[in-house]
Structure 1
Amino acid sequence: MDAREQTYEQEQMNAAQRLWRFATTVYAAPGVAAACLGAQNDWSVDVNLMLYVSWCASEARHLKGDDILFAQERCRPWREQVILPLRQQRMAWRGQEAFAAEYAGSKTLELQAERTQLNFLASLVEEGSAGHEAKAAATVEDTSLLRGHFQILAVHYGLDEDVFGPFLVALSAA
């Protein structure tokens, strides 16, 4: 598929489909999953929010602090009542052979719950509640917009602004 066909295909996809494709493609790239899980485990960062702000940057969508806070608040109940309990249960079963089937099932449910959260986030774009489009098209290689989004996230989580460096490096290599 050439670049023009890819562009046409992207234009035909809704925001939820584009975000899901972006998230799964980026997450599968070398180093990205490790960087995401490190941020999640070390600082309780919402990986879906990281992927969302990355996707917004890739779509040349400029987010302000209020946009990111609004996105997080939109997802907070789902994350706290569904995703985190599923993750906690899955982790409790991890490595226990007697619960291998339950572990696998909970992993599938957690992934479905995370996709639902990404759909919530994508709906912000379709509602017009996700910042505004930047004047110039952004690419993953042009990280200035992405770095700005991650600086906002770092401040929001009370972290050093360089904490997302490993994710940015992995994402740039993706």
Structure 2
Amino acid sequence: MNRGDVKVSTDSVNEFWDWAVGRYEDRLVRDALLELQETAGLTILEAMFLAWLGRRGQVISGSEQRRIREAITPWVEGVVLPLRQQRQAWTDKKSMMINRRYLLGLELEAERALAHLLINSLTILDAETGSPSDIDQNLVLIPELADAASRAGVTDMLAR
């Protein structure tokens, strides 16, 4: 698998995206992750990416996590967060309902682009059977999941 191989990259993005969307559709998972996003500043898709890697048996290093952060931070701070903040600002404004719907679509596109950045930040190894321990070893590298109880909850939810 070459990082430059567009087909492999696209296949990996689609596989990851489908998995992440499937997990996010679970109301309990979504609510817990949104709470951590709000209280700890968690980038949900980053946590899901590290969990997905762990489920595939790929445990990453601290330097790989730093590389991930370097790849995604400009996009998260410059695109994802401003879109989210504007959508939230329009939440209670009836006159902005249509615009808010457009923003939701843009947010989804921005998250999909974030999935590409995540996939392209690492070499994705062939899938093996991972374990909750592999997931936790990856999630412990996310500073926003430093709280062991919060991380254990995320590990448990995303290991299912």
Determine if the TM-score, normalized by the shorter chain, exceeds 0.5. yes
Amino acid in the other structure paired with 1:161: A
The Cα RMSD (Å) is: 2.1
Task: Answer whether contact 2:135 2:159 (CA < 8 A) is retained.
Answer: no
Q: Does 1:53 align with 2:53?
A: no
Gaps of 5+ in 2: 1-7
Q: 1:144 aligns with which of 108, 133, 136?
A: 133
TM-superposed deviation, 1:14: 1.2
**Structure 1 spans left out of the alignment, 5+ residues:** 1-10
Per the alignment, in what secondary structure is the counterpart of residue 61 of structure 1? coil
Which portions of structure 1, spanning 4 or more consecutive aligned residues, are displaced by more than 6 angstroms?
Answer: none
3-state DSSP of counterpart to 1:78: helix
Could you say what secondary structure the match of 1:63 adopts?
coil
2:153 to 166, 171, 174: 166
- Aligned equivalent of 2:70: 73
Alignment of 1:81-120 (within 5 A): 81-120=78-117
Per-residue deviation, residues 8-37 of structure 1 (Å, max 9, x unmatched): xxx9x7111111111101111241101110
The answer to whether the 8 Å contact 2:87/2:103 transfers is: yes
1:119-138 aligned within 5 A: 119-125=116-122, 128=123, 137-138=129-130
Counterpart code for 1:116: A
Change (3 A) 1:158 1:36: closer
Summarize the Cα distance change of 1:95–1:165 in structure 2 as closer, same or farther, 3 Å threshold.
Answer: farther
- Percent identity among equivalent residues? 22
TM norm structure 2: 0.85
TM-score, L = length of structure 1: 0.79
> What is the aligned partner in structure 1 of residue 25 from structure 2?
28
How many residue pairs get matched?
152
